Amino acid sequence: METGEKKIRCLFGTDGVRDVANRGTMTPEMALRLGRSYILFLTERGIPRPRIVVGRDTRRSGHMLEAALSAGMASAGAEVFLLGVLPTPGVSFAVKKMSVHGGAVISASHNPAEYNGIKFLDSSGKKLSDDVEGAIEEYMGDNLTDDWRPTGASVGDIHGAVHLLDEYAEWMASLWGGETPFPISGVVDCAHGAAVETAEKVFGRLGGGWRFIGNRPDGLNINEGVGVMHMAHLAEAVRAHALPIGIAYDGDADRALLTDGKGRVLDGDIILWVLARWLSERNLLGSGVVATVMSNMALEEHLRKENISVFRCPVGDRYVMETMSKEGSLLGGEQSGHIILSSFVNTGDGLCTGLFFLKACLELGEDISTLADRFAPYPQILRNVEVSRDGKMSGDFLRDLSSEAETLLQGAGRILIRPSGTEPLMRILVEARDEKLMEHVSEKLVNAIKEQCRYQ
């Protein structure tokens, strides 16, 4: 049995702090306190006047939280640089470009407009580890956070640095290089989010007649019927204009998914399949590919034929990055389109993913219209079983149950049993080429877990 366990924290989730804006954990008061705690954490580790960049997406609440977060950081003595609307990977770029001590992103990624969030980056532009976020969270309840207030010249300052958008777009376009002609047409869905201005600049510099949709943000329409969460919108545009490919981003543009000319989705597994072969030919792959426990077995099957190893990790881009570092891999990602090409970027970057996918297909001679058919993912069935909130399945029970199911699959499939992180549910994934066998094993697992719940 594969596991999808992850560490549990109170404030920080798997992608920073996130909630409905102006409610719960995402109020201006909380943002101010979080900013102070982050700077105090850095100061007590030998950085007397931290320099921090702050970017945001297009949500209406972004201005409010930007003001509160930056005020909190300046109150603790930091020098803050406001980048304006910029993709999360653009903030990562700014951290390195400006040689600052860290970054902050105000975004709720793929969530609806009423949500917002705050996540921090370290001095290399990478997301913080669980341990560091846990340490920052501890400062939130420390009296020192309130008592320690610089005065006079020690008070921090806030500057504008919106020019980094142009520099990031110029750098991103430069990654294409001059040896391969850029595709002349396609559709880009910016999700009414942080990628709008940046993507138009990048594709404009590279040339061609690319169409843009989801590029009219009004502060309230981010991700609304567009972007990676609503691929039908992009598929319709691709088919309507008879174009060969479409690229969609999420709200903060750290993810990308694609469609072929028929409007079929090319998910993160297919993207990894193509990129892994391309990088391997150029000796830029490292030890292999990192994929989460949710990636389809077809990915391993295809890459095994290329003598490329696949390393599995729990769901979440931070765990992808940790496993990449541990295993010496230079490529990792999730089905959701969060892809990390660490030879080029330090975090998931939707623009980078889309561009390098196009480049890889051209240089490998791939026919994009056939990828979905040739990848042929294993059929999957995902079912949820409701459990009591205080009920726990014993490790021995789950191991024995999994062992029995894997015996039935005889190596021709796999199972994944994991608790939901947000609901009182046990999630059961079964994957197998034989659909009847898959359904039989799934039913057996569901019934066994339901029966076990009766005795808790």
Query: Which burial class, exposed, middle or buried, applies to 271 when counting CB atoms under 10 A from its CB (0-12, 13-18, 19+)?
Result: buried
Question: What are 98's two structure tokens?
Answer: 């400006």
DSSP β-ladder status, 115-121 and 157-160: unpaired
- As beta bridge partners, residue 382 has 429
Closest CA to 195 of 55, 333, 347, 67: 55
SS3 329: strand
- What string of DSSP letters covers 382-393? EEEEE--TT---
- Please state, as a whole number, how many other Cβ atoms lie within 10 Å of the Cβ of residue 208: 12
Q: How far apart are CA 44 and CA 49, in angstroms?
A: 11
Quick check: is 109 catalytic?
A: yes
Q: How far apart are CA 411 and CA 416, in angstroms?
A: 14
Question: What are 349's two structure tokens?
Answer: 């970057």
C-alpha dihedral (177, 179, 185, 188), degrees to nearest 10: -20
Dihedral (CA of 177, 183, 189, 192) sign: positive
Q: How far apart are CA 234 and CA 197, in angstroms?
A: 18
Q: How far apart are CA 136 and CA 288, in angstroms?
A: 33
Dihedral (CA of 113, 116, 121, 127) sign: negative
Q: How far apart are CA 105 and CA 109, in angstroms?
A: 10
SS3 282: coil
Q: How far apart are CA 291 and CA 131, in angstroms?
A: 22
Q: How far apart are CA 66 and CA 34, in angstroms?
A: 12
Question: What are 131's two structure tokens?
Answer: 């341990």
Are the C-beta atoms of 233 and 243 separated by less than 8 Å? no
Q: What's the Rg (C-alpha) of the chain?
A: 23
Are the C-beta atoms of 445 and 417 separated by less than 8 Å? yes
Q: Catalytic one among 37, 109, 336, 402?
A: 109
SS3 150: coil
Question: Which sequence positions are flagged as catalytic?
Answer: 109
